[in-house]
Amino acid sequence: MKSLVRGSIGVTLVCLWLSLAAETPRIAIVMDDLGYQDRLDQAIMALDSRVTVAIIPESPGARRLSRQARTQYREVLIHLPLAGLFQDDCEPALTCVGLDWPAEKMALHLADALARVEGAVGINNHQGSRFTRDSEAVSMLIDGLRRINSEQGRNLFVLDSRTAPDTVLERKALAAGLSATRRHVFLDHFPDPDSIADAWTQLLAMARRHGYAVAIGHPRNETLAFLERALPELEGQGFELVPVSDLARRKTLVTGLETPPYPVSR
Ligand SMILES: [Zn+2]
């Protein structure tokens, strides 16, 4: 009897070890705000092709960059400008999604964005600290996304950039049956090299602890210099770099959970 117990403990431990060994922590990097700064944009497009790019639809480089990304098999998101907390309107020449737009208008706006950012597989918010905390506005946006998905046979997912601590974007997307995930770390909220290195350490720790983590960076010289050094080392450090949709699809498994056990954002 004793040896049977000991045997089953052994089997359990081996299974545990195997499952831990199989669970390589996964990291997704999304580079926001593409389309305006050609030199920096091209430096981003030269990074590992598993780095996802989020392109502003109305930017001058949107069409060209999204086509280029397709030739690289690189994942592309629509970087959707939403109303911020301290300004009602977006930067000049950008159309901010309105807080009072009905789902139909949202869907038209998204269809237009999709025509500019060809092949996009999801959206993430540019700014939007005012919009993403507004439950009704977010519901209309989610409805617009669902319409586009059913009309065009797509499976657009949501990456909540989490520009406001009380955002409801991810939660409402999951509740509506869309795939979704969230940003855990901003790589360059403070764009000096030491702060970027600190954010990176935090990202790796989060991925190790929870099995995955999502970071957002921006077209900045310091961020690029850091990623050019750090990305090739990831695999040797025991991490897998993945396009962000890999992490969003898994979230469909927890649809309906009000407070999923996600890593906390800083
Ligand atoms: Zn942005």
The mean pLDDT of 196-202, rounded to a whole number, is 98
Å from CA of 202 to ligand 1 middle: 21
What separation in Å is there between the alpha carbon of 250 and the centre of ligand 1? 24
Q: Which residues contact 63 (CB under 8 A, 6 or more apart)?
A: 116, 117, 118
Instruction: Point out the least confidently predicted range of 60-64, 88-92, 165-169.
Output: 88-92
What is the 91 CA–ligand 1 centroid distance (Å)? 11
d(CA 58, CA 123): 14
Q: Quickly state the pLDDT bin for 250 (edges 50, 70, 90).
A: very low
CA of 93 to the centre of ligand 1 (A): 14
**Model confidence pLDDT, tens digit, residues 69-78:** 999 999 999 9
pLDDT of residue 93: 78
Q: What is the pLDDT of residue 156?
A: 96
Mean pLDDT calculated for residue range 196-217: 97
The pLDDT value recorded for residue 23 is 85
**Hey, CA dihedral for 82, 202, 188, 87, is it positive or negative?**
positive
Q: Where are the domains of the chain?
A: 24-254
The band of 6, judged by pLDDT with boundaries at 50, 70 and 90, is: low
Look at residue 141 in the predicted model and tell me its pLDDT. Answer: 97
In this prediction, residue 266 has a pLDDT band, given cuts at 50, 70 and 90, of very low
Q: CA-CA distance, 187 to 232, in Å (whole number)?
A: 17
**Report field, pTM of the whole predicted structure over 0.75:** yes
HSE, side-chain direction, 13 A CA sphere, residue 149: 19
- Stated as kind and residue range, the H or E segment containing 208 is helix 193-210
pLDDT of residue 85: 64
Which of 77-91, 136-150, 173-187 bottoms out in mean pLDDT, i.e. has the lowest? 77-91
Encode 201-214: b = buried (16+ Cβ within 10 Å), e = exposed. ebbbebbeeeebbb
pLDDT > 90 fraction of the chain, expressed in percent and rounded:
76
Percentage, residues of the chain above pLDDT 70: 83
Question: How far is ligand 1, taken at its centre, from the CA of residue 59, in Å?
Answer: 12
Q: How much distance in Å is there from the Cα of 120 to the middle of ligand 1?
A: 16
Mean pLDDT of the chain: 88
How far, in Å, from the CA of 161 to the mean position of ligand 1? Answer: 9
CA of residue 224 to ligand 1 center, whole Å: 16
Residue 200, SS3?
Answer: helix
Please give the class, per CATH, of domain 24-254: alpha beta
- Ligand 1 centre to CA of 4 (Å) is 59
Distances (CA, A) of 87 to 82, 91, 96, 127, 130: 10, 9, 11, 10, 9
Per-residue tokens: 59? 């930017």
Q: What pLDDT score does 20 carry?
A: 52
- 154 class by beta-carbon count within 10 Å (0-12 exposed, 13-18 middle, 19+ buried): middle
What DSSP state is assigned to residue 86?
S
pLDDT tens readout for residues 77-136:
999 999 876 655 677 778 889 899 999 999 999 999 999 999 999 999 999 988 999 999
pLDDT at 265 over 50: no
Question: What is the whole-number distance in angstroms between the Cα of residue 81 and the centre of ligand 1?
Answer: 7
Instruction: Identify the three-state secondary structure at position 228.
Output: helix
Q: What is the mean pLDDT of residues 238-258?
A: 72
Q: 33 alpha carbon to ligand 1 midpoint, in Å? A: 5
Q: Over 60: is that where the pLDDT of 248 sits?
A: yes
Residue 259 is predicted with a pLDDT of 39
